[in-house]
Amino acid sequence: MSFKTEIEAIVGDIDTPDLKTEANLYLVEGVKFITKALMTFPQWRNRLTQSTILTNVSPQLVMSNVLDIVSVTRKDADTSGQSRQCLEVPEFKAGQYEDVNSIYYTSKLDPKYYVANDVLSVIPEPTANQTANVKHITPDLSVAHGESTISNFPSELNRGVVLYASKELLRLFMVNRNATLRNLAPTDVSPPSAISVGTTTVGSLGNAPSYGKTTLAFDYTGPGALGVDDYLTNEDVELANIALTKHNQALQKHSNDIQDEVNEFNKELQIYQTDLQQKIQQAEISSQKEALEVQNYQSQVESYGQQVNEEMQTYQLAVQEVVQDYNWYVQQYQLVINDLLTFITQYMPPQIQGVQDEATTNG
């Protein structure tokens, strides 16, 4: 079963929209996350370790993606040589260990290594026969959604990588849904212009009421009370869950505000229409033309009210659909966070698990 299949079982389809590139990125980050979480424990340290042989052709190791150096050894002879442990020395003293006239000069019987500019070098430099062996922990950065295995990574930890990638995709879904909500707006419906008639008979008709649109004004990724990202970065799951709940409450309040505005508009429109009808009934209109204009204007006002209500109904349905998606992502996100923490904890030593449990209880 591919990682993509496992991820989609948690978050849903990632083909539409195409999020496979993001999935690949999150899988790589997941490998790093799980590796960093477990590489300090002896039972996992050896299993996460790989070896790189340094020779005269490739005498150095680039450290760009290396998380930790486990050991460095160098053979002391061309034939039947022993592997001598290399001790790390400061980079600024490297020249002294290579200088035969220095008291720090070191031979193949007492090799050293140093790291400079993110490159590991061995002293004396390895040769074709007197090779050096660097054991290091370097996560696989080539893992992709279509694969089902990860190089130099215990297969029983793959589930943790899938959970991490799923968590990040759900965060992306929430950010996208939030952006959609912020961009949603009802279409403007302009009220009809009030007509001019004889004020001595009908009086001033005034202007029809207009609808005051509400806006959604919170940022999922921003700082402050609703800054979920900050809590997750600090691994404070409880506060992250509280922040997500506040997001949900803000969405509900936004929906309620929409309905309140619609109700207020309908109330004002009803008052306006009633007033207009009374003026028509009470007025002594001498001109048939004015009478027809007033009646036509009344029809326009009624049509305007219907358009506003239809547009707001369409808008509310759109908001409800996005909010429903957002809430589902929030629920899934919280579940995946809990699953990921549970997954990692089960692979930690018992004493570490106890500390984790106590921290969770106290939190």
Residue 240's pLDDT is 66
Query: CA end-to-end span of the chain, whole Å?
Result: 37
Residue 202's pLDDT is 53
Residue 225's pLDDT is 45
Q: Are 51 and 134 in contact (CB under 8 A)?
A: yes
Enter the tokens of residue 340: 């990921």
The residue assigned the tokens 């997941």 is 30
What whole-number distance in Å separates Cα of residue 48 and Cα of residue 33? Answer: 13
Q: What is the mean pLDDT of each run of 10 residues along the chain (363 residues)?
A: 96 93 96 95 93 96 96 94 95 94 94 97 96 97 96 95 96 88 82 68 65 58 49 57 72 76 81 78 63 82 87 87 89 92 89 53 49
Residue 134's pLDDT is 98
The domain locations on the chain are 49-142, 157-362
268 Cβ contact partners less than 8 Å away, ≥ 6 residues apart: 209
Enter the tokens of residue 207: 């202007």
Length of the chain equals: 363
How many Cβ atoms are within 10 Å of 82's Cβ, its own excluded?
11
What whole-number distance in Å separates Cα of residue 128 and Cα of residue 155? Answer: 34
What whole-number distance in Å separates Cα of residue 257 and Cα of residue 213? Answer: 9
DSSP output for 195-249: P---TTTT-----------------TTSSSTT-HHHHHHTT-HHHHHHHHHHHHH
Query: What's the predicted TM-score (pTM) here?
Result: 0.71
What whole-number distance in Å separates Cα of residue 70 and Cα of residue 135? Answer: 5
Enter the tokens of residue 48: 């996460």
